Amino acid sequence: MPLSATAVAQEKDGWKGAPRTFLWNSGPIQFTETAKYKKNPPWTIAVANASISNVWAVGWLHSLQYIAAQHKDVIKQLIVTDANDDANKQVADIQDLLQRKPDLLLVRPATAQALDPAVTRAMKSGVPVVLSDRSITSDNYLSLVNADDWSLGRNMAQWIAETLKGKGNIVMIAGIAGASPAENRIKAAHEVFDTYPDIKILDLQYTDWSPAKGKTVMAALIQKYGKQIDAVWSDHGLEGSGAIEAFVDAGYKDGEIPPITCADLNGCLTLAVKHKVPLMNFDYPPKMGGVSLDVALSVLRGVPVPKHYVISSEISISKGHETASVKADRWLEDYAQMNKSDDFIVSTGIPNYDPKTFKVE
């Protein structure tokens, strides 16, 4: 049963329909012609990855490798570099990869501005580029594959504003400064919060999408603002899980921790269930790694690809905490994997996924 923007399916067991991002698109979808990049297989694909510095990024890489293993008949070589979140190293990685004359370059940029020149040079040299997860400052690429950061930021902010009945104090914690997902989510949240004159943003801090840093940052915010904090806008479950831990360590009892938002990380979900935290989860699925590779293969086959390929996300909310505008595709209590580890990522697209045992040829 298709959902409208504010309606909710009767069964809270996950989205099964056509991609929302296609059905809800506000205008024509721009496609990029790729006929000039068509080549006969087998192909060499180079991947310049920002890092695998957190479990979400590991899930992204595993998703890409999972799809690559399914196409080993046409992929001669998959070359992957890891910049360890260092934009300068990633620029050097791209230079080295281009020396190996790949048929296509797939980039998950460390930061938008620093990687733009390197990606632009690759395109000008004739090597097609597909971006995944994060963008650059120009449009010098064939396709960007991610989930919608703007929808994520707005939905999280709308849920908080309506949960607080339009009045309260919020702290915001986000990922990496300069990374397009973090910056776009913050801008999107402000679009919502700015329409509520009685919503006050006490602070904004970056956490590098780290549970440990999220906990440290939130502990400092609790020490500074204490009970003034009515809600926490967290742009991902990585720092969101650390934030919940900080409230627990600060002595907040079950049911006393303020509403919080998160995404993807099982630890954020299970902690919210355990400590009775009102929570809204908007998935930013790392399965986009595998989707990005599928798009790359379409480029090499000469098939037109969307300039912006936005994969579907699902919303889960703790029971009793839907709002007028933000409804649940499934309940938090059903989505949280209580029998799995805190660092489990719930939306990789890999059946029976376990990052510790995952293997592909």
Query: In 281-291, which positions are buried (b, 16+ CB within 10 angstroms) versus exposed (e)?
Result: bbbbbbbbbbb
Which residues constitute the domain of residue 241?
A: 149-282+316-335
Q: Residue 21: its pLDDT value, please?
A: 63
**28 and 177, same domain (yes or no):** no
CB-count exposure of residue 251 (10 Å: 0-12, 13-18, 19+): exposed
> Does 350 map to a domain?
no
Is 165 in the same domain as 266? yes
Distance separating alpha carbons of residues 62 and 290, to the nearest angstrom: 8
358 domain-assigned? no
Q: How many domains does the chain have?
A: 2
Q: Which residues contact 59 (CB under 8 A, 6 or more apart)?
A: 264, 286, 287, 289, 345, 347, 348, 353, 355
User: Is position 80 within any domain?
Assistant: yes
**Among positive and negative, which fits the CA dihedral 151, 206, 193, 276?**
positive
Q: Are residues 170 and 140 in the same domain?
A: no
d(CA 361, CA 344): 22
Q: Are residues 128 and 170 in the same domain?
A: no
- Based on the fold, state whether residues 305 and 331 are members of the same structural domain: no
Nearest to 267 by CA among 281, 257, 255, 253: 281
Tell me whether residue 4 is in a domain: no
Q: Which one-letter DSSP state was computed for residue 296?
A: H
Residue 15 lies in a domain: no
Q: Is the domain of 236 the same as that of 324? A: yes
Domain contains 10? no
Identify whether 136 is part of a domain: yes
pLDDT at position 9: 33
Asked whether residue 254 falls in the same domain as residue 323, the answer is yes
- The CATH number given to whatever domain includes residue 78 is 3.40.50.2300
Residue 155 token pair: 């939905």
| Cross-strand partners of 136 | none
Give 241's strand partners.
Answer: none
The one-digit pLDDT tens for each residue of the chain (361 residues) are 222 232 333 334 455 566 666 656 656 789 999 999 999 999 999 999 999 999 999 999 999 999 999 999 999 999 999 999 999 999 999 999 999 999 999 999 999 999 999 999 999 999 999 999 999 999 999 999 999 999 999 999 999 999 999 999 999 999 999 999 999 999 999 999 999 999 999 999 999 999 999 999 999 999 999 999 999 999 999 999 999 999 999 999 999 999 999 999 999 999 999 999 999 999 999 999 999 999 999 999 999 999 999 988 899 999 999 999 999 999 999 999 999 988 888 888 898 888 889 998 7
The CA-atom distances, in angstroms, between 57 and each of 7, 33, 87, 156, 200 are: 32, 29, 16, 22, 32
Residue 211 lies in a domain: yes
pTM here is: 0.86
Claim to verify: residue 154 and residue 299 sit in the same structural domain: no
The verdict on 247 and 217 lying in the same domain is yes
Assess whether 77 and 200 both reside in one domain: no
Residues 307 and 329 in one domain: no
Cα–Cα distance, 299 to 142 (Å, whole number): 8
pLDDT at 4: 29
Q: In this structure, are 278 and 294 located in the same domain? A: no
Helix, coil or strand: residue 308 = strand
